[in-house]
Amino acid sequence: MTPVIVGIAGFLLMFLLMALNMPIAFAMGLAGFLGIWILEGANAALSTVGMKPFTWAADYNFMCIPLFVLMGHFANESGLITLAFRAAYKWVGRLPGGLAVATLLGSGAFGAVSGSSSAAAATMSTICIPEMEKYNYNPNIMTGSVAVGGTFAIMIPPSLGFIIYGIITTESIGKLFIAGIFPGLLLILTCSLLTVILCKMNPTWGPPGPGSTFKEKLVSLARAWELVFIFLAVIGGMYWGVFTATEAAAIGTFIAFIFALAKGTLSFKKLFQAVQGTARVTVMIFTLIIGAMIFNTFIAFSGIPDHLKTMVLEFSANPYIILILILLTYFIAGCIMDTVAMAVLLLPIYYPIITSLGFNGIWFGVIVMVMAEIGLITPPIGLNCYVIAGAFPKYRLGTVFIGALPYVIAELVALAVLILFPQISLFLPNLMK
């Protein structure tokens, strides 16, 4: 068998193991290990699984991941996320579906201090769904807005997805963070407009809430100043070149910790829970990364990336047709795989193709994050939908997926805008020092 045939067989074996309910990380790792053994021999395979995982996990850049997750825990314990939601409701509560729109804005604020989408979905569901229930919101609008709101954490910096993308592709993590700001705002705006339109057409789905005076709106913003301070300290420092992404993560975590202590909300028990939750998320992500890296080493030995790159360059079609085909595979992969696994598995194959076609690597990172967002709310794997259904069992999983469906369309519209106007993503990174 040729190396390419072995590579294809490795993909088939990986998907078979996933179908047999083997965890994705172990399915990728086992298929990769066996593939390396066949192509390069036992010594190369044993060396890869025996030494490389430590090398990958010990990468200094990966320190961003636990630090940013911990920062989100501290910010949540400080009550900053609740304050952000209440501030948003003061400003948009009078709109049709105002509470759902406030949920989307509050989720964006959560994303500004934590890159974990599942944590955003879990936290915002406990804050927002009880409030929407008081006003008899439609279950689909309720659960759908929380599900899509959680995905904003992937785009709005600091984003764990951008960290992984930057490490795999060697693109600047700081520039990726900055590139996600305007697209993140675009996604929030698109989903908010959809919510207002749906609730305007169907008033019983999301009735307007009570109005607020301008003074009350200003006071609500003032109470959420700590959240703004953390975001500006982290992102501003990277934008002006004061510190690296890893240093920004440490500084942001320290500031959030001080705020939590100052408010008196961080007991020893909550501190332990925050560290425990951070460790759980970090181990999950690192395990996925290690499994994917083993598999990607095998794929590199098989020559599939180079073979695909040569085929694409010889193909005379418009580069945007190739891009659309690549995004289609991302959409399919997002339906059946974890978004982190999807990113680390496909990037080593697609990134060289994208750059050889003349597309910007930072811009493609933004596009990949949109596809990851869509994967989080599409069946059958859509993790955010499972998180919400688990937190509120009275709302069936099907109800959550149906509620998220209109937002998939909204995100696809935003995706088209980002493809047609790359400067939305690249304007700020191009100004960085």
Query: Domains of the chain: which residue ranges?
Result: 61-286+304-431
- Rounded to an integer, the average pLDDT of 186-204 is 95
Return mean pLDDT, the chain: 89
pLDDT for the residue numbered 345:
82
pTM, 2 dp = 0.89
- Rounded to an integer, the average pLDDT of 205-218 is 86
Q: What's the rounded Cα separation, in Å, for the pair 39 and 301? A: 7
Nearest to 298 by CA among 47, 20, 19, 117: 47
pLDDT for the residue numbered 316:
60
pLDDT-based confidence at 5, cuts 50/70/90?
very high
pLDDT for the residue numbered 289:
85
Span 251-280, pLDDT tens digits: 999 999 999 998 888 888 889 988 998 888
SS (H, E, C) the chain: CCHHHHHHHHHHHHHHHHHCCCCHHHHHHHHHHHHHHHHHCHHHHHHHHHHHHHHHHCCHHHHHHHHHHHHHHHHHHCCHHHHHHHHHHHHHCCCCCHHHHHHHHHHHHHHCCCCCHHHHHHHHHHHHHHHHHHCCCCHHHHHHHHHHHHHHHHHCCCCHHHHHHHHHHCCCHHHHHHHCHHHHHHHHHHHHHHHHHHHHHCCCCCCCCCCCCHHHHHHHHHHCHHHHHHHHHHHHHHHCCCCCHHHHHHHHHHHHHHHHHHHCCCCHHHHHHHHHHHHHHHHHHHHHHHHHHHHHHHHHHHCHHHHHHHHHHHCCCCHHHHHHHHHHHHHHHHHHCCHHHHHHHHHHHHHHHHHHCCCCHHHHHHHHHHHHHHHCCCCCCCHHHHHHHHHCCCCCHHHHHHHHHHHHHHHHHHHHHHHHCCHHHHHHHHHCC
Span 72-121, pLDDT tens digits: 889 888 888 888 998 999 999 889 999 999 999 999 998 888 877 888 88
Q: Is the N-terminal amide bond of 380 cis, ω within 30° of 0?
A: yes
Q: What's the rounded Cα separation, in Å, for the pair 52 and 55? A: 5
pLDDT for the residue numbered 156:
92
Nearest to 338 by CA among 388, 287, 372: 372
pLDDT for the residue numbered 209:
79
Contacts (Cβ under 8 Å, ≥6 apart) of 387: 118, 121, 122, 125, 150
pLDDT exceeds 90 at position 205: yes
pLDDT for the residue numbered 433:
62
Contact 147, 400 (CB under 8 A): yes
